[in-house]
């Protein structure tokens, strides 16, 4: 009997937190590459038994964002962190798993983009990390040895 009020209170807190996060992150901004791509797919997120749908950014648009934003520092000419992302393709992230793992971890830790550097709008960095994780997970499901192989970065 006490569980219903607690569950309702928890749902209210989570909903308020998500609303605050959405307000902080701002609206999802579309770039030219995404605007020209096909209709975005939708991912369902389950939250306390109710499904919430949100658009996902196609891998080719994420690749265009990486090349537009990340290559200011991570290019063949600059090689910040001894890393070039000029040829990186989000859809082919499993070909360079060590680089993809860095691209998941660094933004999640708030280390990239560096303070003061241009940042993509909305939840683009979250979408990038999620997409890279999905690409790596699919590749590892097909070939578990990929998880142990060093990349050629």
The pLDDT tens digits for 3-58 are 455 655 555 555 555 555 444 444 434 344 444 444 444 444 444 454 444 558 99
88 contact partners, CB below 8 Å, separation of at least 6 = 63, 66, 67, 70, 96, 99, 103
What the block records as the tokens of 106 is 């660094």
Q: Which helix (H) or strand (E) holds 25?
A: helix 3-25
- CA dist 100 and 66 (Å) reads 12
- CA dist 50 and 9 (Å) reads 16
The answer to whether residues 128 and 82 touch, using CB atoms and an 8 Å cutoff, is no
Q: Is the pLDDT of residue 136 over 80?
A: yes
pLDDT of 22 reads 46
Read out DSSP for 34-73?
HHHSPPPPEEEEEETTEEEEEE---HHHHHHHHHHHGGGT
Average pLDDT rounded to a whole number, residues 115-127:
90
């Amino acid at each position: 009997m006490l569980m219903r009020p607690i569950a309702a209170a928890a749902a209210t807190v989570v909903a308020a937190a998500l609303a605050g996060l959405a307000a902080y992150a701002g609206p999802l901004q579309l770039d030219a590459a995404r605007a020209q791509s096909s209709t975005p797919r939708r991912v369902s997120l389950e939250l306390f038994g109710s499904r919430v749908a949100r658009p996902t950014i196609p891998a080719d648009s994420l690749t265009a964002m990486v090349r537009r934003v990340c290559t200011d520092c991570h290019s063949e000419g600059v090689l910040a962190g001894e890393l070039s992302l000029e040829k990186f393709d989000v859809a082919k992230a499993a070909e360079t798993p060590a680089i993809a793992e860095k691209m998941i971890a660094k933004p999640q830790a708030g280390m990239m983009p560096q303070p003061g550097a241009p940042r993509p709008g909305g939840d683009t960095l979250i979408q990038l990390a999620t997409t890279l994780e999905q690409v790596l997970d699919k590749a590892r499901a097909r070939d578990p040895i990929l998880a142990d192989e060093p990349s050629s970065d």
